[in-house]
Amino acid sequence: MKYKVSHTTSYRYEVGVTFCHNIATIKPKNMLGQTVLSYNLNVTPSPTEISERLDFFGNTVTRFSIQKHHSVLTVTANSIIEKDSSLQPNIYNSPGGQNITLQESLLALQNINSELLDIRQFILESILVAGITPEIKAYAEVSFKPNRSVFEAAHELMQRIYTDFEFNTKVTNVATPIKEVFEKKKGVCQDFAQIAIACVRSVGLPARYVSGYIETLPPPGKEKLVGTDASHAWFSVYIPEFGWVDFDPTNNQIPKNQHIVIAYGRDYYDVPPLKGVIYSTGMNKMKVAVDIRPADE
Amino acid sequence: MPFSSNTLFQNYFSEFKNYDEVLKSNMTINPNWEKLLNNLTQFSNKNLIAKQEEIDWLMDENGVTYNVYNDPKGMNRSWNLNIVPFLIHQKEWEAIEKGIIQRAELLNLVLKDIYGKRELIKNGIVPQEVIFAHRGFLRQCDQIQYKTAKNLLIHSADLARGPDGRMWVVNDRTQAPSGMGYALENRFSLSKTMPNIFQGINVKDLSNFFFHFNKMLIESAPQNKDNPNIVVLTPGPLNETYFEHAYMASFLGYPLVTGNDLVVRSGKLWMKTLKELKQVDVVLRRVDDVFMDPLELREDSYLGVAGLLDVIREQRVAIINPIGSGILENSGLIPFMNAICQYFFNEDLILPQIASWWCGQEKECTYVLDNLKDLVVKRIDRSNRENIFFCEFLDSNELKALRDEILLTPYQFVAQEKISFSTAPDFVNGNLEPRKVVCRTFSIATKDTYTAMPGGLVRVAPERENLFVSNQRGGVSKDFWIITDEFQPNIQKYSWDNTCKISISHINDLPSNMAENLYWSGRYLSRSLNTARYLRMVLNRMNSEQFQNKKTDSENLVFLLKSVTTITSTFPGFVGKGSEEVLKNPLKEIISLITDETRLGSFAQTMFSFNNSYYTLRSLWSRDMWRVFDSIKKLWNKFKENSNYSIPELVKFLDRIVTRLIAFMGLIEESILVNQGLLIYFIGLQAEQAMMNIAKSRSLLVFNFDEAKQYEILESFLLSNESLNIYRYSYRSHLSIENVINLLILDKEYAKSLTYQINRIKKDIDRLPLPTNTMGVSKCQQKIAEASLLIQNLNSDMLLQLDEHEAIRQNLDHVLRDLSNLLHEASIELSDMYFNHSYQQKQLVNQNFPLS
């Protein structure tokens, strides 16, 4: 499956900006089952400096600065991605991965080897998944039990969040603490992902945040509109004997070909698509448009 | 024994038994202290009290302050130095020195490893969580390479003497340790006040250490090795140790800057100066890690510079200490330090540490929970007092809450044995009292090793039985002596304002933030003086009216009162709505104009603004300036204690304020060089003088009065300007409006005339550097040239012309209005061109994460 992805973020500044520094975490990952066939980042006005590097988590970050006065900033990432999830290990083909219990998993995680060290950092609290309350832990323990399969529990957790939480774009923002999201049971994909991560970590397992895209299909018989797709986020649980397994609690499914991965982090804080510091006194208006469609062969 | 009978030691041990530095429980004296105690006993008790008062006074006078957040008395609180120093003999110090250098070397390797290969974790020496769960582990700093031989360039440790008689490490400070400057000032003040106390004792000198410190800064520069541009970065005047930031900047001779003075462009770090952007090579920072770069670190920080981390990655600037070194301020490391020392050096730690248990290990956690009541619990990444639990003082509910918290994220907690540290004598209320002490030591990287300061900062527990020593609470400090048997050169040779090099070599290099504060200092100072004098004149008029109740006086007084409102822009006051009521009791309004800090335009508010902009210029001050500044503040505080003011009292107060303000203005002129920014201060001062002059002239000279009334108004004007004598000297005549206009507006030589003032501003503005991108003449220059041209072409006949009703002098009013507008515009252009408001940093998306 080939996709053409275009992700445009634009800022309109009320009084103009004399210059700015920005960081974008926006380039899709090249990995097993997902190949980036082409990628380019367009910034207007054209940046004075632009450079790419890998961050702590292995994601590609682009840093740029614009040193001339401007009133509109547009950042467009265009890529062509080939997805073939059949190349990735499938948990349903791994009896060991499917059956390992919480108790067994916690034991397996205690070994010290460099691969596990990398993974174990995702058990700890992080900037936005901090202050995990006993209530959140209790919510997690409804699914996670010492002698139950971790995969089964995580799958159920995803379903429960899908059912118990209402998708609502007006209640939360990027800085809403998980405690508050948990109390309101409302939020957007990144809130659901972070609640799930908090739950998984509360029982001592590694969970990470996945930032990416999802292809949305138009209603039957309708033409797909440009820009209706969105930035998306979901979570991933590490299951010993198998590896990382992704879960999308917003759509109640295990991601396959419709999900495109951009970056992994501990939570949203590690991988915001675009951030920056501007030198200006006025307000700004942001607009994001994402378009994903099958690429012509 | 001479001391057991000495009154100084009376009741020394009465209610408090502890290990003491000087006196053993059998009342024998530690021989190292004998000379010092002998020297102390040379003073009578009364004399010692006087000496302590003298030191307190000196600290106050010299403005050695320590700000405490959230404390009404917190700003500019005096630093406390006890007259009794703390001492350690060279022989013991040598061992301690070895220990702190070993620790600095070790922490340097730990820092390199944490942000490099992480072998300590891979080899199981340090559990991963101790690093990864610590908020000071900044993933953004991972794998950054440095050109300096060491990563950790300054290491500071808090030491205290444990029950075994050895010095123990209590804490490490590695981000931006404070205290060096206070230590230096302590030594200076003590040797100035009590030279006799040093008699016959060889105390190690500190100046060599600062020589090395400066060398370390210079050698850290990744480029421009011959002449690196070094700055001291401060969070600003509200920070608790701002005094020290200014002191160090001044002592070392480098500009003191805030985040807004710096900017990242084209991959380099720059300082914004009047002339241009100047590349910065080395930053000695007093800003904590997470505030250093709002682009990549804490996003709500305006204390750092956006994009800085990338400049560091490219090795184009050195930050001292490197960003990320806060990971070493980590009590979670303590239980593993000995293993780390074995791992790197194959030897044991020289300095012992407090027994600590990291709760991330099952066995240790169980032990901690079983013995909680007897332990002191901390989070691994928070060492401030609010986050330390002295469990013996917790009730059962609090203990349970703590237990639950530990169980939720055990890896975030460390428990420590509670230790009773040694006491040393402190001079309190005429007696010596044993007080707990903590010694802060400093070491700096010098080539391939570390050099320790011979001494440091000793802090004393505020209460007799207090367990905890902290200067967050503004505690007491001591001079810290390392004594030796060898002769030491004279220790009194440095003082911070004598040895300071000129920090700014040319006005072109003046940081723009400092320039802005100088400009506003000039303006507020002039406004304060003018307002005080004007109010004083009006008060004097009110006073004399009480004696001679003539009608014209009363009319005149109302006119003058109304002018007060206009000149100070404090409407409605005597002019606007409700003014009739206000005029019935004018004194009430005048008092409000003097004392109400919340009222825009009031004398109090102007002084307050002056205070703020002036305080940020700390590094430029001389001692005399501080003393006068302080005396104004004291006068003010004393005045405010009153509530019922009589006119003579108010006049007397204003008299005193005026004298001090003028003394202060004189001191500024002689203490600050033109190239250090005096020019900018002058422009502000003269601009305000000119604007006040215009405001007064418009209020008092535009209206046409009968002769008697005119006379009194003119006299009032001259009095408020302190120009009456000059007038009499120049004209030897009856007061006439024509002569007053000639003197105060048109005279080319008289410093208080508007023509002189405007020409002076023009001359000074023309001397300012033109910013690199400006071609030809700046807009600011154009505006002031226009004003100068306008005033040169005036003559008194034209200005004196009356309108058709013979009520007002319209030409005069219009000219003054135009001049006022031009001065205003020039001031705005000046701000825009030099003070760089367009450089305010701001987040693209406003998000406020709890990064730390």
Q: What is the pLDDT of residues A70-98, one digit of tens each?
A: 899 999 999 999 999 999 999 999 999 99
Structure tokens at B393: 């003082």
C-alpha dihedral (B396, B402, B405, B407), degrees to nearest 10: -80
Token look-up 């305006």 returns B302
What 3-state DSSP class applies to B476? strand
C-alpha dihedral (B465, B471, B473, B474), degrees to nearest 10: 100
Q: What is the pLDDT of residue B850?
A: 46
List, for residues A6-52, the tens digit of each pLDDT value. 999 999 988 888 889 999 999 999 999 999 999 999 999 999 999 99
Residue B292, C-beta contacts closer than 8 angstroms, at least 6 positions apart: B285, B301, B303, B304, B305, B308, B309, B319, B323
Are residues B438 and B170 in contact, defined by beta-carbon separation less than 8 angstroms?
Answer: yes
- Chain-chain contact of A11 with B133 (C-beta, under 8 angstroms): no
Q: What is the pLDDT of residue B472?
A: 46
List of chain B residues whose C-beta atoms are within 8 Å of the C-beta of residue A49: 266-267
d(CA A104, CA A109): 9
Q: Higher confidence at residue B462 or residue A279?
A: A279
- Chain-chain contact of A130 with B850 (C-beta, under 8 angstroms): yes
Nearest CA in chain A to B300: A277
d(CA A78, CA A90): 29
- Chain-chain contact of B842 with A280 (C-beta, under 8 angstroms): yes
d(CA B158, CA B179): 11
From residue B181, give the alpha-carbon distance in Å to each of B209, B225, B244, B268: 12, 26, 5, 30
Shortest CB distance from B849 goes to which of A21, A269, A279? A269
Maximal C-alpha separation, chain A: 61
- CA A141 vs. chain centroid, Å, equals 24
Question: How are beta strands B282-285 and B318-320 bridged, if at all?
Answer: parallel
What 3-state DSSP class applies to B31? helix
Nearest Cα neighbor of B318 from B276, B252, B269 is B269
Structure tokens at B573: 């006051």
Question: DSSP state, A47?
Answer: P
Cβ neighbours around B590 below 10 Å, total: 22
In angstroms, what separates the C-alpha of B140 from chain A's closest C-alpha? 7
CB proximity B498 to A under 8 Å: no
In angstroms, what separates the C-alpha of B775 from chain A's closest C-alpha? 19
Q: What is the pLDDT of residue B825?
A: 94
Q: What is the pLDDT of residue B454?
A: 96
Contact map slice: B 383-412 vs A, CB within 8 A: 404, 408-409, 411-412
Looking at the whole model, is its pTM more than 0.80? Answer: yes
Write the DSSP string, B112-171. HHHTTT-HHHHTTSS-HHHHHTSTT--GGGTT---SSS-S--EEEEEEEE-TTSSEEEEE
List of chain B residues whose C-beta atoms are within 8 Å of the C-beta of residue A55: 139-140
Residue A118, C-beta contacts closer than 8 angstroms, at least 6 positions apart: none
Q: What is the pLDDT of residue B17?
A: 61
List of chain A residues whose C-beta atoms are within 8 Å of the C-beta of residue B841: 277-279
Residue among B122, B407, B842, B846 with most chain A CBs within 10 A, to mutate: B842
d(CA B614, CA B621): 9
From residue B8, give the alpha-carbon distance in Å to each of B3, B463, B584: 8, 18, 63
List of chain A residues whose C-beta atoms are within 8 Å of the C-beta of residue B380: none
Residue A281 in this model has a pLDDT that exceeds 80: no
How many A/B residue pairs have CB atoms within 8 Å? 105
HEC per residue, B616-641: CCHHHCCHHHHHHHHHHHHHHHHHHH
- Chain-chain contact of B409 with A125 (C-beta, under 8 angstroms): yes
Residue B5, C-beta contacts closer than 8 angstroms, at least 6 positions apart: none
Give all strands (DSSP E) within B739-851, no chain letters. 841-843
CB proximity A276 to B under 8 Å: yes
Are residues B489 and B247 in contact, defined by beta-carbon separation less than 8 angstroms?
Answer: no
- Chain-chain contact of A279 with B124 (C-beta, under 8 angstroms): no
List of chain A residues whose C-beta atoms are within 8 Å of the C-beta of residue B117: none
In angstroms, what separates the C-alpha of B324 from chain A's closest C-alpha? 14
What 3-state DSSP class applies to B843? strand
ipTM score of complex: 0.93
List, for residues A207-254, the tens digit of each pLDDT value. 999 999 998 887 787 777 666 677 899 999 999 999 999 999 999 999
List, for residues B91-150, the tens digit of each pLDDT value. 999 999 999 999 999 999 999 999 999 999 999 999 999 999 999 999 999 999 999 999
Residue among B327, B844, B848 with most chain A CBs within 10 A, to mutate: B844
From residue A287, give the alpha-carbon distance in Å to each of A11, A189, B146, B221: 7, 18, 40, 43
Residue B396, C-beta contacts closer than 8 angstroms, at least 6 positions apart: none
In angstroms, what separates the C-alpha of A180 from chain B's closest C-alpha? 15
- Chain-chain contact of A56 with B139 (C-beta, under 8 angstroms): yes
Residue among A277, A278, A280, A286 with most chain B CBs within 10 A, to mutate: A277
Question: DSSP state, B746?
Answer: I
Residue B340, C-beta contacts closer than 8 angstroms, at least 6 positions apart: B106, B110, B120, B125, B126, B333
Token look-up 């008395």 returns B73
- Radius of gyration of chain B measured on its C-alpha atoms: 32
Q: How high does pLDDT run on average in chain A?
A: 92
CB proximity A132 to B under 8 Å: yes
Phi, psi (deg, nearest 5) at residue B366: -60, -45
Range list of H helices, A203-285:
none
Are residues B82 and B476 in contact, defined by beta-carbon separation less than 8 angstroms?
Answer: yes
Residues of chain B with pLDDT under 50: 1-5, 68-75, 466, 468-473, 492, 494-504, 848-852
CB proximity A267 to B under 8 Å: no
List, for residues A145-189, the tens digit of each pLDDT value. 999 999 999 999 999 999 999 998 888 888 889 999 999 999 999
- Chain-chain contact of B295 with A276 (C-beta, under 8 angstroms): yes
Token look-up 């102007």 returns B606
Are residues B796 and B741 in contact, defined by beta-carbon separation less than 8 angstroms?
Answer: yes
C-alpha dihedral (B30, B35, B36, B40), degrees to nearest 10: 120
Question: How are beta strands B476-484 and B80-81 bridged, if at all?
Answer: parallel
